[in-house]
Each structure stands twice: as C-alpha cells, then as structure tokens.
C-alpha cells in the first residue's frame, strides 16, 4: 500500500520549487530581527495568520514583499541550506531550484550576493547526498528590458546556472513577451522551462506559445493542456515533462487538479509531483505526493511512475539517470 512513509522514502527528483518559497516563518522572523526589517509580524502565529490568499495574485502580494528580510550572502545561503536539509529528509536525490534574482536586485541586493549564497549551499549539500542545481527565473510582470539585463548579469555565472524559467504574475504577461531572451538563453546552452499556471485567462494560448514557438523542454503546472487534445499529443510525443504541484493548486484554485494530473499520467505523459512554495502551501514534496495519492487512491505503480518521471524529465545526464530509474 501507498503510505506516507513509503512516499517519503521513495527516491525522488524535485523540479518545481522556488527557493524564495521555502522561507519558513521562523527563519523569516529570525532574519527580520537580525537585519532590522519590519515585516509587520512578530510571532510565528502572526506570520502564519498573514498567509491569506486564494489566487495567484493575492499569494504573490504576500510572498514578494517579505523577501526584504534576505539581505546578505549568508542569508541566501541559510535559506537554501535549510531547504536542502529538508530535501534530504524527503529522499530528494536531485533538485532543480528556481530562484528570482529580480526579486532581490530590484531592492538593491546584488546579483552576486544572491547567486553566491544559493550556489554555495548547493555545493555543501553534496556532502549529504543531495544533488542540487539552479534555474534562474525571470519575473514576467517585470519589463523585457529587466529580463535582458538579468540574463546579461547571469553570464558571469553561466556554469552555476542550469536553466532559465519564467514565473510570477501571468495575467497580461504571455511567454512571447520574453521570446527573444529565451532564444538567447538556448543559444548560451541553458535548458528552458516556464510556468503556465493553472486556469489563467489565456492558459491555452500561453501554453501554445511556450511549446510551439519558444520550444520549452518542460511545462511548470500546464495542466490546462487537458482541454486541448492536440496539445496533449504534442506533449506526449515530444516527451515534455510537466511539473505539477497539488498543494499549491489547492491554494490558488478550488482543488488540487488531481483529475487532470492522473489523466495525464494515464496517457503516459511525464508528469511529476513537486512542492512549489512549501513554506506557504503547507508541505514539502512527500506531502504533495501524499495529498495526491490519498485523494485519488493512487497505486504503488502510479506513485513509482511519478517518481521515475521526475528523474526522466530532469536535466541530469543520461548516464546519471541510470542511477535512479
Ligand atoms: C509562484 Cl504559485 C507561483 N506562480 C507563479 N510564480 C510563482 N513564484 C513563486 N510561486
Ligand atoms: Zn512555481
């Protein structure tokens, strides 16, 4: 039977998690105090009470301002290191971590401070068996010019960044806004992926742009493809990985989209299960597997397939994949 324990011990890859979304209330308060930043709350209970959101926009309005507590390279290190210990606990063998440099450079923190802190933590995680890589995301509600500058700044750290993604507020910010930057990223040898969040006003259009024009290798969320059988066929044939996040879905919409996730899985699509912003959405990766498995009565074969998909759609080398699948 599929139990919480089984899911925790199952070796997994995590492909959709935002480092900024792993900032737990206790570290948030600790950093606020150290850096003399007033975040409006003084206790863990107050911080948790401020987590009131029911859609993407209301979530992001809570999420981004609080990042002000991150100031020094050590702060970024501590944030990533705390997550990587949790990854180890969850038997995550390989993780591809999103980070949002513009959420920090826009408030006067240097790109160098951010990347050096995060990268050093990924190197230290090797000692306890977690292989960690970084995916730099553009904030899609920022300008094209800001994204261009961010990609330029990343050049100096090319060997420390595995891929480029796109996140934040999707409404009125279609993939095509950043098409030239993704083309540039591919020419620099980065892998590419992007968020196509659930139930957006223009979900199908955005997914088409991401898949057919920009040529992403994965879709983050993207479950609205179920509305369009041509897109389902496309994703299946091209083996596009889909990184789904059940607990996140439950927060920003009415349900975890388990029907969509299990339908796509049954069709043979490389669906994985991930935690998105676990400090905000109530659980790390094993809890996301459990939420889906419990609600949809998944079999051992199904959850093992999801874990295999997570390695297969990851950007580790084919040789490294042999160790896991
Ligand atoms: C995010 Cl749930 C979600 N959607 C888009 N961008 C994000 N960044 C962090 N969490
Ligand atoms: Zn996400």
| Cα–Cα distance, 238 to 232 (Å, whole number) | 10
For the CA of 16, the nearest ligand = 2
What is the DSSP secondary structure assignment for residue 64, as one 8-state letter? Answer: T
Mutate to test the pocket of ligand 1, among 168, 178, 222, 252 (most ligand atoms within 8 A of CB): 168
| Tens digits of residue pLDDT in 104-157 | 999 999 999 999 999 999 999 999 999 999 999 999 999 999 999 999 999 999
Ligand 1 pocket check for 168: Cβ under 6 Å: yes
Residue 191 assigned to a binding site:
no
56 lines ligand 1 (CB under 6 A): yes
Residue 173 Cα to ligand 1 middle (Å): 13
Known binder of ligand: residue 89?
Answer: no
Q: Judge whether 215 and 237 are in contact, CB under 8 Å.
A: no
Nearest ligand to residue 253 Cα: 1
| pLDDT beyond 90 at 323 | no
Give the closest residue (by CA) to ligand 1 atom 6.
168
The model's pLDDT over 43-60, given as tens digits with 9 standing for 90+, comes to: 999 999 999 998 999 999
- pLDDT for position 51: 96
Q: What are phi and psi of 16, to 5 degrees?
A: -140, 85
What is the Å distance from ligand 1's center to 137 Cα? 10
Q: Please give the C-alpha separations between residue 238 and each of 140, 219, 233, 270, in angstroms, as whole numbers.
A: 25, 12, 8, 10
16 is in an annotated binding site: yes
**C-alpha of residue 81 to centroid of ligand 2, in Å:** 19
Residues 251-304 have pLDDT tens digits of 999 999 999 999 999 999 999 999 999 999 999 999 999 999 999 999 999 999
197 lines ligand 1 (CB under 6 A): yes
Q: What is the pLDDT of residues 27-42, one digit of tens each?
A: 999 999 999 999 999 9
Confidence of residue 325 (pLDDT cuts 50, 70, 90): confident
Q: What are the domain boundaries of the chain? A: 4-24+73-321
Do residues 174 and 209 touch, judged by C-beta distance below 8 A? Answer: yes
Does the pLDDT of residue 158 top 90, yes or no? yes
Q: Is 54 annotated as a binding residue?
A: no
Share of the chain above pLDDT 90, in %: 97
Examine the pLDDT at 96 and tell me if it is beyond 90.
yes
Bridge-partner residues for 220, per DSSP? 195, 243
Q: The whole model's pTM is what?
A: 0.98
Q: Which atom of ligand 1 is nearest to the CA of 245?
A: 2
Q: How far is the CA of 185 from the centre of ligand 2 (A)?
A: 20
What are the pLDDT digits (tens) for 176-210? Answer: 999 999 999 999 999 999 999 999 999 999 999 99
Fold assignment, 4-24+73-321: TIM Barrel (3.20.20)
Ligand minimally distant from the alpha carbon of residue 220 = 2
Which atom belonging to ligand 1 lies closest to the Cα atom of 167?
6
How many other C-beta atoms are found inside a 10 Å radius of the C-beta of residue 35?
13
Spatial distance between the Cα atoms of 58 and 147, rounded to a whole number of angstroms: 23
Ligand nearest to the CA of 22: 1
Task: Encode 36-70: b = buried (16+ Cβ within 10 Å), e = exposed.
Answer: eeebebeeeeebeeebebeebeebbeebbebbbbb
Instruction: State how far the Cα of 119 lies from the Cα of 123, in Å rounded to an integer.
Output: 6
The average pLDDT across 230-248 equals: 98
Spatial CA neighbour of 18 closest among 64, 75, 53: 64
Q: Is 220 a pocket residue for ligand 1 (Cβ < 6 Å)?
A: no
The tens digit of pLDDT for each residue in 5-15 reads 999 999 999 99
Q: How many whole angstroms from 28 Cα to the centroid of ligand 2?
A: 20
Does residue 222 have its Cβ closer than 6 Å to ligand 1? no
Residue 174 pLDDT level (bands cut at 50, 70, 90)? very high
């Amino acid at each position: 039977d599929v139990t919480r324990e089984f899911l925790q011990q199952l070796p997994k890859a995590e492909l959709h998690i935002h480092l900024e979304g792993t900032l737990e209330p206790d570290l948030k308060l600790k950093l606020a105090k150290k850096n003399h930043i007033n975040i409006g709350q003084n206790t863990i209970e107050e911080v948790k009470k401020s987590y009131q959101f029911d859609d993407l926009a209301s979530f992001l309005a809570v999420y981004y301002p609080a990042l002000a507590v991150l100031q020094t390279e050590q702060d970024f290190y501590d944030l990533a290191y705390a997550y990587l210990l949790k990854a180890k606990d969850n038997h995550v063998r390989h993780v591809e971590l999103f980070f949002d440099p513009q959420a920090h450079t826009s408030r006067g923190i240097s790109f160098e401070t951010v990347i050096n802190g995060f990268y050093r933590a990924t190197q230290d995680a090797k000692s306890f068996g977690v292989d960690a890589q970084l995916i730099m995301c553009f904030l899609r509600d920022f300008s094209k010019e800001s994204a261009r500058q961010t990609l330029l700044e990343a050049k100096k750290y090319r060997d420390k960044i595995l891929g480029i993604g796109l996140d934040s507020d999707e409404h009125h910010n279609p993939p095509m806004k950043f098409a030239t930057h993704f083309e540039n990223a591919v020419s620099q040898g980065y892998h590419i992926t992007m968020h196509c969040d659930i139930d957006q006003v223009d979900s199908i259009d955005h997914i088409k742009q991401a898949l057919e024009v920009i040529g992403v290798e994965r879709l983050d969320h993207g479950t609205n493809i179920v509305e369009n059988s041509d897109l389902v066929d496309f994703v299946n044939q091209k083996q596009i990985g889909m990184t789904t996040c059940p607990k996140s879905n439950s927060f920003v919409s009415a349900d975890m989209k388990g029907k969509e996730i299990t339908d796509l899985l049954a069709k043979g699509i490389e669906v994985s299960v991930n935690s998105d912003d676990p400090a905000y959405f109530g659980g790390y990766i094993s809890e996301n597997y459990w939420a889906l498995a419990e609600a949809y009565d998944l079999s051992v074969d199904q959850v093992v397939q999801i874990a295999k998909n997570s390695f297969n759609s990851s950007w580790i080398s084919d040789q490294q994949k042999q160790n896991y699948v």
